[in-house]
């Protein structure tokens, strides 16, 4: 691996530098043009059709998808030889971000270009690619992905859908029922997971007109009501053997690897939705007058605007840092197998980004409603719909709970396999914490020096708690979900804080401290919030693991990692709010 290539999960033991991370400020002018086309398309064509989309008028949505296809908006991840553009993941993520604004359509689009198209891109045979990809890339044929079943949601491998080879060996006969299938009602091709002979978990490609494939009724949902969500029923569905996708018995690899991509794309989409909501909230706050002045004059509203901005910036920084790492590694990959592996390498980061961004989206849409007050609660205003549409993001592409479990589990596995020097780092840390404290009180006067130290300490807190938990529970740690969720939260905050901090420093190096005033303010707020939150997570976890003197010793060690003078985050929030209000729009 070259120097530029980072190992997945290595953020916990390595320091990121401004040169080493990809930030949105690095986008090329072509990439920004892709984004503009996507945004213009959503604003002028999709939002225009909002009511028809929400009434589940699928002909309208299909026509919009075909138009998106004409514009090349579905081509990013499909290789050129199959009618796509074969763009890097940074472009793909930016296009996904810019396709936000109409939640139902974003989901139709997201499922199509992601989980419905990518399995064929990465695992399809030459014939399968030639048959399916051109239609998926130009939007004439919409795709769906069928994994979930009644009894197999988060526990996807518990699927009961069964495939049996026909006597003549030409077909698999599939029986079972899939549910919550996005695009179920409008798709042409379905990626279906089933167990051959009830054992070998395998992916298949089914056409809409497959004998024995039936589409159930539409679900009535809290949000994204204009998207199609149905059951897909397989009653002796006859699937030609050449429609087996990937290897027999290897379906889980397809299912999970594709989800990794789905996760960073979901992160990018959430960031896009956040930006739309923030702009609208800002405009409303400046227009709405109470007590004789705009409510944007009031401190609590200003704080909300600032905090929405902080969380969006942090999520955005983490999303594009992750995507940048994937692209760097994928550059060295020749085969589609190697390319999908480059995404798998960063499955920890993909899980982090999914949780971080979907929760930032819930925060932002919630505060958006709150800023609008009673109007925010009325369906006449977009905030109400945005609030409902946001909620699914914490559930699909792996619930946030499943993703939280994956983060420490994957980290520990990498540590155990020796892929990451986590245990060495944890041991060194224990020695440091048990040794004599140094009294070098914040003599580092560099920009954001205190925040750099916070980021370093966040990582140490994560390693420290992980080390204590691993020692105490050994292999039984997997059963300690309440400890694991706290470990995950600390890892998420550490990754997000570092991504934010390094991006802000990179920006300041280009634009100067004054030019990058907002990113610097964001970094101060995010880091201070992160360490305050992590103190709580760590204390709770430690108190749940140890007691008595052992606990007291650990808490003393923890306090050493918490030592700091808190930044003036109220002033930093005011800096952000004042600038946004002065500019009347979301600027960076």
Partner 1 sequence: MKILVPVRRVPNPDIKVRLKSDGSGVDTEGVNFLVNPFDEYAIEEAVQIVEKSGGEVVLVSIGTADCEETLRAGLALGALRGWLVETSEVLDSAAIADVLAAVYKEESPDLVITGKQSVDTDNNQAAQMLAAKLDLPQACFAFKVELGDGKATVEREIDGGLDVKEITLPAVITADLRLNQPRYAALPQIMKAKRKEVKKVSLGDLGVEAKSATKILGLSQPPARAAGQIVGSVEELVDKLVNDAKVL
Which residues would be at the binding site for partner 1 (CB under 8 A)?
Answer: 29-30, 33-34, 36-37, 40-41, 70-73, 75-76, 85, 95, 515, 583-585, 587-588
Strands 189-196 vs 162-165: parallel, antiparallel or unpaired = parallel
> Of 73, 123, 77, whose CA–CA distance to 326 is shortest?
77
Length of the chain in residues, anyone?
588
509 or 587: whose CB is closer to partner 1? 587
Q: What's the min distance (Å) between Cβ of 585 and partner 1?
A: 7
Nearer to partner 1, 15 or 81 (CB): 81
Q: What stretch of H or E contains 478? A: none
Contacts of 90 (CB under 8 A, 6+ apart): 22, 27, 31, 320, 323, 324, 327
For residue 126, give the H/E element and its range: helix 126-137
Q: Which two tokens stand for residue 268?
A: 């990018």
Minimum distance from CB of 274 to partner 1 (Å)? 18
Strands 293-294 and 289-290: antiparallel
How far apart (Å, rounded) are the C-alpha atoms in residues 355 and 140?
A: 32
397 part of the active site: yes
CB of 468 to partner 1, least distance (A): 46
| Beta carbon of residue 582, minimum distance to partner 1 (angstroms, whole number) | 8
Identify any residues that bridge with 214 across adjacent strands, giving them in sequence order.
Answer: 233
Enter the tokens of residue 345: 């390498």
User: Which of the following is catalytic: 397, 498, 528, 546?
Assistant: 397
Looking at beta carbons only, is 33 or 416 nearer to partner 1? 33
User: Distance between CA 213 and CA 446 in Å, rounded?
Assistant: 64
**Three-state DSSP state, 163:** strand
Q: Which is nearer to partner 1, 33 or 338 (CB)?
A: 33
Query: Whole-number minimum distance, CB 48 to partner 1, in Å?
Result: 13
Any bridge partners for residue 192, and if so which?
146, 204
314, 360 Cβ separation under 8 angstroms: yes
Pair 498, 455: CB distance under 8 Å:
yes
> Measured between alpha carbons, how far is 563 from 558 in angstroms, rounded to an integer?
9
**Based on CB atoms, which residue is closest to partner 1, 36 or 214?**
36
Shortest Cβ 581–partner 1 spacing (Å): 12
Closer by beta carbon to partner 1, 72 or else 184: 72
Residues marked as catalytic? 397
């Amino acid at each position: 691996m070259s120097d530029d290539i980072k190992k997945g999960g290595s953020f916990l033991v390595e320091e990121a530098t401004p040169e080493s991370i990809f930030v949105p400020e690095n986008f090329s002018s072509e990439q920004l043009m892709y984004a503009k086309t996507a945004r213009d398309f959503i604003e002028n064509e999709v939002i225009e059709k909002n009511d028809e989309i929400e009434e589940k008028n699928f002909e309208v949505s299909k026509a919009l998808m075909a138009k998106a296809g004409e514009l090349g908006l579905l081509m990013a991840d499909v290789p050129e030889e199959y009618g796509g553009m074969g763009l890097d993941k940074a472009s793909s993520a930016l296009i996904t971000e810019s396709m936000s604004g109409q939640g139902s359509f974003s989901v139709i689009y997201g499922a199509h270009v992601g989980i419905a198209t990518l399995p064929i891109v990465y695992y399809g045979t030459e014939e399968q690619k030639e048959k399916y990809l051109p239609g998926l890339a130009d939007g004439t044929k919409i795709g769906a992905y069928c994994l979930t079943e009644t009894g197999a949601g988060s526990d996807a491998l518990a699927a009961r859908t069964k495939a049996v080879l026909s006597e003549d060996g030409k077909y698999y006969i599939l029986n079972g029922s899939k549910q919550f299938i996005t695009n179920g009602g409008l798709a042409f091709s379905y990626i279906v997971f089933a167990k051959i002979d009830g054992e070998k978990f395998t992916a298949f490609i089914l056409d809409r007109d497959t004998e024995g494939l039936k589409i159930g009724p539409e679900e009535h949902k809290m949000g994204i009501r204009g998207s199609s969500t149905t059951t897909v029923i397989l009653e002796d569905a006859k699937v030609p053997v050449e429609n087996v996708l990937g290897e027999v018995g290897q379906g889980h690899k397809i299912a999970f690897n594709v989800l990794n991509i789905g996760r960073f794309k979901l992160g990018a989409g959430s960031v896009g939705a956040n930006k739309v909501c923030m702009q609208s909230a800002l405009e409303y706050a400046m227009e709405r007058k109470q007590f004789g002045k705009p409510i944007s004059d009031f401190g609590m509203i200003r704080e909300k605007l600032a905090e929405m901005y902080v969380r969006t910036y942090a999520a955005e920084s983490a999303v594009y840092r992750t995507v940048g790492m994937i692209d760097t590694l994928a550059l060295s990959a020749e085969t589609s197998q190697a390319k999908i592996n480059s995404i798998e390498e960063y499955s920890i980061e993909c899980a982090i980004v999914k949780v971080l961004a979907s929760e930032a989206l819930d925060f932002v849409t919630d505060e958006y409603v709150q800023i609008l007050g009673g109007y925010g609660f009325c369906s006449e205003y977009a905030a109400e719909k945005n609030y409902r549409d946001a909620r699914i993001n914490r559930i699909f592409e792996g619930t946030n709970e499943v993703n939280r479990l994956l983060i420490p589990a994957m980290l520990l596995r990498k540590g155990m396999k020796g892929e990451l020097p986590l245990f060495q780092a944890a041991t060194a840390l224990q020695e440091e914490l048990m040794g004599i404290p140094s009294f070098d009180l914040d003599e580092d006067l560099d920009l954001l020096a205190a925040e750099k130290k916070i980021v370093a300490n966040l990582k140490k807190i994560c390693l420290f708690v992980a080390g204590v938990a691993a020692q105490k529970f050994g292999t039984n740690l997997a059963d300690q979900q309440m400890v694991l969720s706290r470990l995950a939260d600390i890892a998420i905050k550490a990754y997000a804080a570092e991504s934010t901090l390094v991006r802000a420093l990179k920006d300041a190096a280009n634009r100067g401290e004054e030019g990058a005033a907002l990113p610097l303010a964001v970094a101060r707020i995010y880091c201070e919030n992160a360490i305050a939150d992590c103190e709580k997570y760590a204390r709770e976890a430690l108190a749940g693991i140890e007691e008595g003197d052992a606990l007291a010793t650990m808490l003393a060690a923890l306090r050493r990692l918490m030592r700091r003078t808190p930044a003036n985050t109220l002033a930093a929030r005011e800096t952000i709010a004042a600038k946004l209000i002065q500019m009347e729009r979301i600027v960076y």
